[in-house]
Amino acid sequence: MDIELEQLAINLFDIGAFKFGEFVTKVGLKTPIYFDLRVLVSHPKIMTRLARMLLLFVEECPNVARICGVPYAALPLATLISIDSNVPMLIKRKEAKTYGTKKIIEGNFKPGDSCVIIEDVVTSGSSILETADILRREGLKVTEAFVVIDREQNGKKNIESHGILMRSLYTTTKLMTYLLKANKISPKIVKDVTDYLLISQAPIISPDTRLMMPFHIRASRCKNAIGSKLFNLMESKQSTICLAADLTKADAVIELADLVGPHIVLLKTHVDILEDFSDNFIKRLKELAKKHDFLLMEDRKFADIGNTVCLQYEKGIYKIAQWADVVTVHAIAGQSIIDGFKNSLKNISEPRGLFILAEMSSKGALTIGEYVQNAINIAQNSDIVVGVVCQSDIFSSPGLIQLTPGVKILKSSDDLGQQYNTPESVVNSGADLAVVGRGITEAEDKLAATLKYKEELWTAYIKRITS
């Protein structure tokens, strides 16, 4: 095998898969050597030989049910391995589809299936860990990753600290040995690369503790008093329900809040749909919130420039700033919308917070790609933001709350594009607070329905932090 690897290393050099000079890796590290295995698609014979070397790892791994290549460079290799081994392949999309089934994993599998990951080059290990996280959330077991090149920059350490054994055909050091022996590179290049490896390491990636950390511990990590209070409420009431009271009559909202208030932590309103809104409604609602110990959220979804947002928040007939503990905010206006709220809060003595909308539960939503990451960046760098509205585990900060809408006992959708997921599935996808609306408001026995959601959500949370 060593002779074959040595010859293959020379072939890879000859087709331009290894480059020497000044480059920057995906994780931002400057490097004198760059590996570009994407060129393999133009050299099928070499790609086939490389895939067969990786196949030896797969054949030594018992009970492999599925193979998944990290997109995109490793996909051709994973495909060849799948064909030669007759082990079915899965494809992890770069992002979930916004249409149809909205899958992020393509291919057939069963929960509990063992899946190995194929990757071309590992620096920090982040790509493998991202892939493994998604596969695991879909119920697959991931314990092995097979790699062409280990750059020897903490990637193997990071991957194995997350419970995944990593094996590689090459290390950077071994490649340098092969290429120097074949007179493909000079001793100076070897020294430059060796010196570089001694001083340049990727950051250590700690295992994702957000999903495994109990609420009372995460409460201490909050930058915002309302966020801390929500975590503590969830812990003390053993409830993660945010009730969407999207009703059009004030008395109906009040009656529902009084009935289920002891079992929820957050009541979500849309005051602009009330046909009989009044200051007295707000007074009664605040009294119930105090009586049953829950917080109020106006789901206003602010999305304008800072000055306009200030007026919408403070003024008008609703005077939201005076009574809503938290509000929802689109990230579309950027940092200026956060600055607008901060300016408004100068006149408010009580603690307040914002939920940033990063993803939506409606079919075909445009909250995808860079928009999502930019929203997360705003959330993680603001002391006024208590959490993120999203459908999946897209941030790591334990001090932020993931609020996930579209929850029903039975997975379904409506005629207007709203898509629902089960309590257990949203918790496994990172939800801390789950928005439940019609599953309770349209139930024949609303209290019984609330208790059912409360039990299922809490059971899923306990399972998440103890598994």
Q: Is 16 left (phi over 0), alpha (psi -120 to 50) or beta?
A: left
Q: Which of 184, 223, 301, 446 is catalytic?
A: 301
Catalytic (active site) residue 304: yes
Give the β-pairing of 412-413 and 419-420: antiparallel
335: left (phi over 0), alpha (psi -120 to 50) or beta: alpha
Contact indicator for 364, 98 with CB cutoff of 8 Å: yes
* 415 contacts: CB under 8 Å, gap ≥ 6: none
Residue among 36, 258, 304, 339 flagged as catalytic: 304
Buried b (16+ CB within 10 A) or exposed e, 303-323: bbebeebbebbbeeebebbeb
Q: Which residue has the tokens 């607070």?
A: 433
120 annotated as belonging to a binding site for a ligand: no
User: Which residues have C-beta within 8 Å of that of residue 155, sequence separation ≥ 6?
Assistant: 122, 123, 124, 125, 128, 166, 202
Tell me whether residue 361 is annotated as binding.
yes
Please check if 418 is assigned to a binding site: yes
Instruction: Say how far apart CA 156 and CA 160 lie, in whole Å.
Output: 6
Tell me whether residue 237 is one of the annotated catalytic residues: no
Q: Please give the Cα distance from 68 to 81 (Å, whole number).
A: 10
Give the relative orientation of helices 75-85 and 44-60 as an angle to the nearest 10 degrees.
Answer: 60
Contact yes or no for 90/131 (Cβ under 8 A): no
Burial, 442: exposed, middle or buried (Cβ in 10 Å; 0-12, 13-18, 19+)?
A: exposed
Contact predicate 376/409, CB 8 Å: no
Amino acid at 183: N
DSSP string, 65-108: -EEEEPTTTTHHHHHHHHHHHT--EEEE-SS--SSTT--SEES-
Flag whether 195 is marked binding.
no
Q: Which of 150, 299, 393, 432 is catalytic?
A: 299
Adjacent-strand bridge partners of 90: 68
Residue 325 assigned as binding residue: no
Q: What angle do CA 108, 131, 394 make, to 5 degrees?
A: 110
Is 437 annotated as ligand-binding? yes
Residue 415: HSE in the Cβ half-sphere, 13 Å Cα cutoff: 0
User: Is 283 among the catalytic positions?
Assistant: no
Residues labelled catalytic: 299, 301, 304
Q: Can you say which residues are annotated as belonging to the binding site for substrate?
A: 246, 268, 361, 418, 437-438
